[in-house]
Amino acid sequence: MDTIVVTGGAGFIGANFVRHALAHSEARVVVFDKLTYAGNLESLADVATSPRYSFVQGDIADREAVRALLRAQRPSAVVNFAAETHVDRSIDDPASFVRTNVTGAFELLEAARQHLREHPQDGFRLLHVSTDEVYGTLGATGAFSEATPYAPNSPYAASKAGADHLVRAYHETFGLPVLLTNCSNNYGPFQFPEKLIPLMILNAVEGRKLPIYGDGGNVRDWLYVDDHCEGILLVLRKGAPGSKYNIGGGNERTNLQVVDALCAALDAELPAAKNPALASAGMRSYAELKTFVPDRPGHDRRYAIDASKIRADLGWTPRHAFESGLRETVRWYLANKPWCEAVQSGKYRRERLGLKS
């Protein structure tokens, strides 16, 4: 039986990929995760009893831990989601982003090289999951292709760009069978509530302000996480080693449009008049919670992904329109408030690790 090691598999996209891989392949799936604030075993609770799932706690930047993992598991594939990903946090603490995103990628590549020297095998692949933010920002028109020059504008984006360059170099220099994907903004279940969509949903439900950077005109291309995971598994199976593939939803929206759509979806699912947090304040719509705040430094104005390569070469296409994916996301967060509270408080982590509150 094939074994897929998924680094960062307890994070948002990683956990959704683990679930997707178990459902759509026969492989064993081994999750390797440090369990930082954004890595939550609670996100994998529904697959924890699967005989094809196992979990190893560890840090991708820990050389011995990563090499021991590959020696023990002898994977046929590695998919790397392990990363610090929040732009605001990267402005406050760039060092942690360099350590995890750059040094971690380096240690994983070196461990894979050693693994193949010790256990040569045909078909081994290492897929590194990256972001469209490495390309910088766009004007009013155009889209990022696989040939777009890199121009990162935040410490987060720069650290992911550094990792991408290492991945490419290890193929060109050492012949390591790597694959690289660059995705647009993901949304969906199990996303840590610091990101735009879950933050706005939870703030709105609790009657808190909905902070919107600048004029709300920053544009992102939104991709439902299940569609992204389907694309990643397809690239892992059929992508050409040494290649990169952009994965985007083709759903460009301004931040203001996203917040307005969320407010409308919430008004349909949980009307403001029936929400005590809003009704007590005399509010008739979630949109009344919108507030504009000063823009963050280096805030890229527009991203858009040209996903024509993966569509043409591998036959991938997203299954979710933005509106339907957003409705599913809102419903999931409304139905899973205990998960949100647990990951925000860290309670689940203290309990799992035997720590006091």
- Per-residue pLDDT tens for 248-288? 999 999 999 999 999 999 999 999 999 999 999 899 999 99
Contacts of the segment 335-344: beta carbons below 8 A, 24+ positions apart: 336/189, 337/205, 339/42, 339/43, 339/190, 340/193, 340/198, 340/202, 342/40, 342/42, 343/40, 343/42, 343/43, 343/192, 343/193, 344/193
User: Bigger pLDDT: 352 or 173?
Assistant: 173
Is 129's pLDDT higher than 60? yes
User: How confident is the prediction for the chain on average, in pLDDT?
Assistant: 93
In whole angstroms, what is the distance from residue 269 CA to residue 263 CA? 10
Is 348's pLDDT higher than 50? no
Q: Is 170 a catalytic residue?
A: no
Q: Considering 132, 226, 227, 230, which one is annotated as catalytic?
A: 132
What is the value of pTM for the model shown?
A: 0.93
Segment among 55-64, 81-90, 111-120 with least mean pLDDT: 81-90
Q: Is 88 a catalytic residue?
A: no
CATH of domain 3-188+225-248+303-320: 3.40.50.720
Q: Considering 84, 133, 227, 300, which one is annotated as catalytic?
A: 133
Q: Answer for the pair 179, 127: CB distance below 8 angstroms, yes or no.
A: yes
In whole angstroms, what is the distance from residue 251 CA to residue 320 CA? 10
pLDDT for residue 340: 81
Is 223's pLDDT higher than 70? yes
pLDDT for residue 346: 61
Q: Considering 53, 156, 224, 333, which one is annotated as catalytic?
A: 156
Torsion angle in degrees (nearest 10) through CA of 62, 124, 230, 2: -90
All structural domains of the chain with their residue ranges: 3-188+225-248+303-320
Is 351's pLDDT higher than 70? no
pLDDT for residue 215: 96
Q: Is 333 a catalytic residue?
A: no
pLDDT for residue 1: 74
Is 208's pLDDT higher than 80? yes
pLDDT for residue 37: 83
